[in-house]
Structure 1
Amino acid sequence: MEHGDNHITVIDEEGNEQLCEILFTFESEEFGKSYVLYYPVGAEEDEDGHIEIHASSFIPGEEEGDLLPIETDEEWVLIEEMLDTYMDSEEE
């Protein structure tokens, strides 16, 4: 993961680089990790006007760190709650 401004470059399973925009990041003391929510730049909205948002964990402070997969259902619940809160605040 390389990042600058509000973007990161993500390398997919096939080795392709994709520029993504960071939606937001947050830390969880409960899991001892930091998380980033992001989506591909130029992503197409679906018929409901939504875009697919990706989430990964990372180690803060590393300029070119790796994005790590979300490992547990409990982490996904936390991420979904944080995303809901973020989306609610954006709508206001």
Structure 2
Amino acid sequence: MADEHLQPGEDEQLITLIDDKGNEELYQVLFTFDSEDYGKSYVLLYPQSAEDDEEVEIQAFSFTPDENGDASQGDLYPIENDDEWAMIEEVLNTFLADDDSHLEDK
């Protein structure tokens, strides 16, 4: 289901999000993936200012990739479907479990 995973530090991408009040915050791309079921690309982001041991809220959006397949340019779209959210959470949980197992191997 997940076609592409960006590992932190490996082609680091940053995206600026602007909230309803016009405040800008810089986010780092955790990873991107494509869903054949929904025919969309997704990006998961976390605040760049987050500390390594800090629990962070991860933002998820669908996006239209640029010519390089990146999410750093172009439009992000909110996830409004509960089934899509469930699929994204499943992919995120798998990513986090894989990331934890890589850390334990070192």
TM-score range, shorter chain: 0.7 to 0.9
Matched, 1:25 2:32: yes
Partner Cα distance (1:61, 1:21) in 2? 17
Q: TM-score, normalised by structure 1?
A: 0.82
Q: 48, 51, 56: which one pairs with 2:61?
A: 56
CA contact (8 A) 1:9 1:18 kept: yes
Following superposition, the deviation at residue 16 of structure 1 comes to 2.0
Q: After superposition, what is the alpha-carbon deviation per residue over 1:25-57, rounded to whole angstroms, capped at 9, x for unaligned?
A: 0011111111100011113689xx521111011
What number of residue pairs does the alignment pair up?
87
Aligned sequence identity (%):
53
Partner Cα distance (1:74, 1:5) in 2? 29
For 1:38-57, list aligned pairs within 5 A.
38-43=45-50, 49-57=54-62
Matched, 1:86 2:95: yes
The structure that is strand-richer by fraction is 1
Root-mean-square deviation (CA, aligned residues, Å) is: 2.2
The residue type paired with residue 23 of structure 2 is N
Following superposition, the deviation at residue 10 of structure 1 comes to 1.3
Q: TM-score, normalised by structure 2?
A: 0.72
